[in-house]
Amino acid sequence: MTAGGVWQDSAASMGNPSPIADDRRRRRTELLLLSGLAVLTALRAWFAAGTELTPDEAYYWTWAQEPAAGYLDHPPLVAWLIRLGTLLLGNSALGVRLFSLVSGALVPWILFRVGLQISATPRQALGVASLAALSPILSVGAVVHTPDAALALAWSGVLWAGLRLFHRDRLRDWLLLGVAVGLAILAKGTGWALLPSLLLFFTGCLAGRSRLSGAGLLLAIGAALLIAFPNAVWNSRHQGGAFAFQLSHVLAGMSPSPLQGLAFLGGQAGVVGPLAWLGAVLFVAVGWRTRIRNSRPEVFWLWALSAPLLVFVAGLAFVHKVEANWPAVAYLGLLPALPWLFSGGAWYLRRKGLWFALALGLSAGLTLVIHLHALLPFLPLDPERDPTARLRGWRELAAEASADAQDLGAVLGAEGYAAVSELRFYAHDTVVYQPSAARVSQFDLWERELPPRPPPQRVLFLQPVATQGDPTPCKGAPERWQLIKEPGERPRRATAYRWWVCGGLPAPEKESR
């Protein structure tokens, strides 16, 4: 993945090369990309194997132990992929993260092909792939396995399949488009954003409207519906399921906050790379113009599948707290448009190679700092504000809790999905779940669906320090409870909890469904 000169127009500098020479140049560039991705994926695999699971990853691992067509928080694809990864590599961090690594390798390659489809030179397409591979938000998502990994791969597939239609318009490309849309919906709720984006394209430009008739569109719709149907049925049987959960999450706590919105925009520049983010914003501003819609529909395709999502999330950030990863897949369409944007599409940027080298260097530098800090913390960040802190301390906590529970003749228990999931993964044992007032989770749904069962005789219970109200978790227990470890101020995971010994825990109240 070279930097200098990536965006130079090699075709112009060599006159008019033959198709054979151009094909050889493309193949050499693609081989360079694949070699770089192989090395990068090996480094990521080493990092993935050597760092602990985040609470969300451990939570999705617990889903994978109970395969289903849906779950309360998200659609099921992340659980299915983790299940397959752990069947192949065992219940290890690498097994859990196997398919995030696969996605992280495939997405840049697909974006390389996307760049070629919009007439970028092979070097320009290599630049797009390099930015995708090394930008902080996409690089972290290529290791930590969340629903965004499968969503990014499916979203990239939608971009690629749609561009293939401009050149061949074959039924198999329509089928690929429908399958990719269905998998995006099966990966994360954000996948539903593809539907208004596709509608915008197919009604907003001449090339889109010309493809509204024919068997291809019906085939794509049928494939997408067939893939998404089982999860839709599951959601309908569980009061809306993940769709209702995420919608209530978005609508709750809305309050205008200009500073919060500006902080989000600044944060996006950090997680994508300042210059790459600036280029993406410029494309959002110009990619909708009538001249582009009618004369360069493939460019408008990238805009339609990316800009609306980014604009919506950015607007939402001014009235609601927004996570940095929510618009991440939007950049999959915005980055491939940059060569066109600065090679005469909207502006002609001089010394493009130098500017690209700087953009790539900034993105790669931020990514390197994040990964090094995750391995050997050196930045002066408070643990509560350090996102990499979620990768540390869980194995030590599980070992200490397991040893104490064995000494006491007790089973482990914890409040909330995070601690329960981590303890189940690292302690390799059953962990009693206690609901948290902070949020509901899939554990609450499982507890409601299980038949009543007697509480254990004795529980070593871990309760987060942040718990509000009455700190005693053992109300209703048949025996005494006792606080055996107070929370501390040392930067250890174990000191973030109160440790209780309870005679038992009350069975959860049954709720009507």
Q: Quick: pLDDT tens for 372-426.
A: 999 999 998 887 788 899 999 999 999 999 999 999 889 999 999 999 999 999 9
Q: Are 306 and 313 in contact (CB under 8 A)?
A: no
Distance of alpha carbon 453 from alpha carbon 1, whole angstroms? 58
pTM for the predicted model, two decimal places: 0.92
Distance of alpha carbon 131 from alpha carbon 356, whole angstroms? 9
Q: Are 197 and 155 in contact (CB under 8 A)?
A: no
State the CB neighbour count (10 A cutoff) for residue 404.
17
- Given a cut of 60, whether residue 479 has pLDDT beyond it is no
Tell me which DSSP letter residue 461 carries.
Answer: E
Q: Quick: pLDDT tens for 445-478.
A: 998 887 777 777 788 989 888 776 566 677 655 5
Q: Quick: pLDDT tens for 189-236.
A: 999 999 999 999 999 999 999 988 889 999 999 999 999 999 999 999
Per-residue confidence (pLDDT) for residue 161, from 0 to 100: 95
pLDDT band at 506 (very low <50, low <70, confident <90, very high): low
Q: Which two tokens stand for residue 129?
A: 């792939």
Residue ranges of alpha helices (H) inside 287-440 are: 290-295, 297-304, 307-316, 331-334, 338-342, 352-375, 394-408, 417-427
| For range 151-178, the mean pLDDT | 93
Per-residue confidence (pLDDT) for residue 436, from 0 to 100: 86
Q: How far is CA 378 from CA 309, 334, 370, 386, 392, in A?
A: 35, 33, 10, 11, 14
Q: 82-112 burial string, b = 16+ CB within 10 Å, else e?
A: bbebbeeeebebbbbbbbbbbbbbbbbbbbb
Which residues have a Cβ under 8 Å from the Cβ of 304 and sit 6 or more positions away? 197, 198, 200, 201, 204
Distance of alpha carbon 412 from alpha carbon 32, whole angstroms? 51
Per-residue confidence (pLDDT) for residue 24, from 0 to 100: 87
Q: Which is it for the CA torsion 267, 157, 58, 234, positive or negative?
A: positive
Number of alpha helices (DSSP H) and beta strands (DSSP E) in the chain: 24, 5
- Given a cut of 80, whether residue 505 has pLDDT beyond it is no
Residue ranges of alpha helices (H) inside 169-211 are: 171-187, 194-204, 206-209
Q: Which is it for the CA torsion 345, 351, 353, 359, positive or negative?
A: negative
Q: Which two tokens stand for residue 113?
A: 């092909």
Q: Quick: pLDDT tens for 76-121.
A: 999 999 999 999 999 999 999 999 999 999 999 999 999 998 877 8
